Amino acid sequence: MKGWKRRLYEGYVSSGQAGNPGGTKGLGGPYLDKLIKGHLSPSRDITILDLACGQGALIDALKRHGYRHISGVDLSPEQVAAAHARGIAEVECQDLNVFLRDSAAGAYDVVFLMDILEHLDKQEVFDVLDGVHAALADNGVAIMHVPNAAGVFGMRARYGDFTHEVAFTPRSMRQILHACAFDRVVCYEHKPTIHGLRSLVRCALWEVLTAPFRLLLIAETGTTRHILSQNMLVVARKRASHTSGRASR
C-alpha cells in the first residue's frame, strides 16, 4: 500500500473521515435494518463476513437481528480499536486480501463490501472480488455499497474521500461482477429510508425533485430504470459452476 494512503487510514477516525462515532458514514440504523431484512436469509445460522467493517456498525446491527456467525476485518487500527471499545470483538485488524487468502474456500454465505471497492485500484478490485468469490459458498451472496458515478451528485461521493480511486455505474458493476463469476446482479438506489416524519418528507422530496432527471434520461436513452443517488447498493450471487475466467493476479 502506498505510504500516503496508509497515513490516511491510520488516522481515519481522528481525522473525522470515518463519520459519526458509530462509524456508519451515512449508513444509519434504519438503513442497515432495511438492508438486513431485505437481503439476508432469515436463518440466523448463516456465516457472514463484513470486509472493511470500520467500527462495526453493520456487525452490531447483525447481532441485534440475531445473527450469530459473523466476522469483520478492517485495515485501520483506529477503526478496529473503536470497534473493540464499543464491545464488538468480532473485528480483526488485517489486510483484506491476506484475510481472504487465509479463509477456507466456501466459508461464508454472505460477504459485505460496504464502501470499500472505491478505495481500490482496478486490479485490486478484481483481486478482492476473486477472493470473495473463493470465500463464498455456492450461491453465496456478495452485498456491496459503492459511489454511483451516474448519480446526480455522484462525484460528491467519488471525491469525498482522498483515498477513493474509482466510482461505478450499474453497467460497470455488472461488467466487473460477471467477469469475476457472479451473476444475478441487481443494483438499488440508495434513497432516504423512511423511519419517521422527517425521513418521509426527505423521501417525498427525493421522488419529486429527481423526476425531471429521470424524464431527461428516458428521453435520451429510451429506458426507464435509472439510479440517481450518490451511492448504490449492489447484490450479486456466486455462480456455482465457475471453472475459468478469473482475472490473473
Burial group, residue 199, by CB count within 10 angstroms (0-12, 13-18, 19+): middle
pLDDT at 241: 62
DSSP code, position 148: B
Size of the chain, expressed as the number of residues it contains? 249
> What is the SS3 assignment for 171?
helix
- Owner of C-alpha cell 455499497: 145
The pTM of the full predicted model, rounded to 2 decimals, is: 0.89
What distance in Å separates the CA atoms of residue 49 and residue 124, rounded to the nearest whole number? 19
Q: What is the pLDDT along the chain (249 residues), one digit of tens a residue?
A: 788 888 888 888 888 887 655 545 556 789 999 999 999 999 999 999 999 999 999 999 999 999 999 999 999 899 999 999 999 999 999 999 999 999 999 999 999 999 999 999 999 999 999 999 999 999 999 999 999 999 999 999 999 999 999 999 999 999 999 999 999 999 999 999 999 999 999 999 999 999 999 999 999 999 989 999 999 999 999 987 644 444 433
User: Sheet containing 231-238: which strands, arranged edge to edge?
Assistant: 91-93, 69-74, 47-51, 108-114, 136-147, 231-238, 182-189
pLDDT at 7: 87
Q: Please name the helix (run of DSSP H) or strand (run of DSSP E) that holds residue 147, with its range, or none.
A: strand 136-147
Using an 8 Å Cβ cutoff, are 114 and 144 in contact? yes
> What is the SS3 assignment for 118?
helix
pLDDT at 10: 80
Residues whose CB falls within 8 Å of the CB of residue 42, separated by 6 or more in sequence, listed in order: none
pLDDT at 248: 36
What distance in Å separates the CA atoms of residue 181 and residue 226, rounded to the nearest whole number? 24
pLDDT at 6: 83
- Chain centre distance of CA 185: 14
What distance in Å separates the CA atoms of residue 141 and residue 133, rounded to the nearest whole number? 9
pLDDT at 249: 34
Using an 8 Å Cβ cutoff, are 84 and 91 in contact? yes
Give rounded-to-5 percent helix, strand, coil for the chain.
40, 20, 40
Residue-wise pLDDT tens digits, 29-63: 899 999 999 999 999 999 999 999 999 999 999 99
CB atoms < 10 A from the CB of 230, how many? 19
Using an 8 Å Cβ cutoff, are 58 and 32 in contact? yes
Question: Which CATH class name applies to 3-193+227-238?
Answer: alpha beta
DSSP code, position 55: T
What distance in Å separates the CA atoms of residue 81 and residue 48, rounded to the nearest whole number? 21
Q: Where are the domains of the chain?
A: 3-193+227-238
